[in-house]
């Protein structure tokens, strides 16, 4: 395993398998982790948006982290997402995950009221000082009201506790500006399947995303092509893989990822209510698209 403060490559956002009465299905989660490690992924992130982290009660979040840490058994780093509105809540989660054996956290600030950048900074720094784990900053302006500004990210990057940034803005200009300002060695990670190649071309370290949970082998291959400087081939593969993510746009992210895993033989269950379950028809379509994308990826060299 890489030293815990260095994350790179393809790190899938895991789903959270649920039983019919909405309890954590830890055994199925372990099966999915085993499968992904077999496909060559470089880390595992439970409790992200794909993993419905923001919908889970704290006790359930701990059950999830424990299951993933045990399933990995130290083979790849486990980097759960921490998502909280209060400093107090974030510290509780971070410390609980540290005790359970996590190798790092992806730290997000959720917010009810908008707050100014100094308060955002206070959140990240106070949580960092309360845990020994390396932290990946995460900001998603599409789902959160609080954003990490470019200057604040640059400033935080000089605190060695913060080892990288997963930026879901989808804004390549913002990424160029951030890459230009952060300390050398600070990681930049793609958050979306359509940006993976661009992020790696500009010096990024990898991809944290839900679709890698379903197209793990293909994403590992994409990463290898980027590492080898084969940019045209990497882009050709990304174009194919994007057809899968594209199909998600009209549906709930967790529901789609669960449907795709079901098509691959797993039993992740439904998304947590009130997120609506998919119809059998939609699930069938997702399965078809997944099969086609995997065939197309195979046709250009990924098997």
Chain contacts with a second copy (rule: CB under 8 A): 22, 49, 54-57, 85-89, 92, 109, 112-113, 115-116, 118-120, 122-123, 126, 143, 145, 170-173, 175-177, 179-180, 192-195, 197-198, 201-202, 229, 231-232, 235, 238-239, 242-243, 245-246, 252-254, 272-276
Q: Which of 123/266 has CB closer to a second copy?
A: 123
Q: Which of 176/298 has CB closer to a second copy?
A: 176
What backbone phi and psi angles, to 5 degrees, belong to 207? Answer: -135, 125
Q: Which of 72/244 has CB closer to a second copy?
A: 244
- Give me the sheet containing 81-84, strands edge to edge: 9-12, 206-209, 187-190, 162-167, 135-139, 105-109, 81-84
**Do strands 187-190 and 206-209 pair parallel, antiparallel, or not at all (unpaired)?**
parallel
* N-terminal to C-terminal alpha carbon distance within the chain: 25
Q: Which of 38/185 has CB closer to a second copy?
A: 185
Instruction: Classify 216 as helix, strand or coil.
Output: helix
To which H or E segment does residue 287 belong? helix 280-299
Smallest distance, a second copy to C-beta of residue 265, A? 26
Cα 139 to chain center, whole Å? 12
Cβ distance 253 to 17 under 8 Å? no
Smallest distance, a second copy to C-beta of residue 74, A? 31
Alpha helices by DSSP H, listed for 47-188, are 58-72, 87-99, 117-129, 150-156, 172-181
Smallest distance, a second copy to C-beta of residue 56, A? 8
Q: Which of 67/237 has CB closer to a second copy?
A: 237
Smallest distance, a second copy to C-beta of residue 3, A? 27
Smallest distance, a second copy to C-beta of residue 84, A? 9
């Amino acid at each position: 395993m890489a030293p815990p403060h260095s994350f790179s490559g393809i790190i899938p956002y895991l789903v959270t398998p649920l039983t019919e009465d909405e309890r954590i299905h830890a055994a199925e989660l372990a099966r999915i982790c085993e499968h992904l490690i077999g496909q060559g992924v470089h880390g595992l992130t439970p409790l992200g948006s794909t993993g419905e982290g923001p919908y889970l009660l704290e006790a359930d979040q701990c059950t999830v982290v424990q299951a993933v840490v045990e399933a990995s058994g130290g083979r790849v780093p486990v980097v759960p997402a921490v998502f909280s509105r209060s400093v107090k809540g974030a510290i509780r989660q971070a410390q609980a995950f540290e005790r359970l054996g996590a190798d790092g956290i992806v730290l997000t600030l959720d917010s009810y009221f908008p707050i100014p950048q100094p308060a955002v900074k206070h959140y990240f720094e106070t949580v960092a000082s309360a845990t020994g784990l390396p932290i990946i900053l995460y900001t998603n302006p599409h789902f959160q009201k609080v954003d990490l500004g470019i200057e604040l990210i640059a400033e935080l990057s000089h605190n060695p506790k913060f080892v990288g940034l997963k930026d879901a803005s989808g804004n390549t200009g913002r990424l160029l500006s951030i890459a230009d300002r952060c300390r050398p060695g600070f990681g930049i990670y793609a958050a979306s399947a359509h940006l993976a190649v661009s992020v790696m071309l500009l010096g990024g370290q990898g991809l944290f995303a839900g679709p890698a949970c379903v197209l793990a082998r293909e994403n590992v291959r994409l990463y290898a092509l980027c590492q080898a400087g084969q940019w045209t081939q990497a882009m050709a593969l990304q174009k194919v893989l994007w057809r899968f993510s594209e199909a998600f746009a009209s549906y709930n992210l967790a529901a789609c990822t669960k449907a795709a895993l079901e098509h691959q033989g797993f039993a992740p269950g439904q998304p947590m209510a009130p997120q609506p379950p998919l119809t059998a028809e939609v699930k069938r379509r997702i399965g078809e698209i997944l099969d086609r994308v995997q065939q197309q990826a195979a046709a250009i060299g990924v098997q």
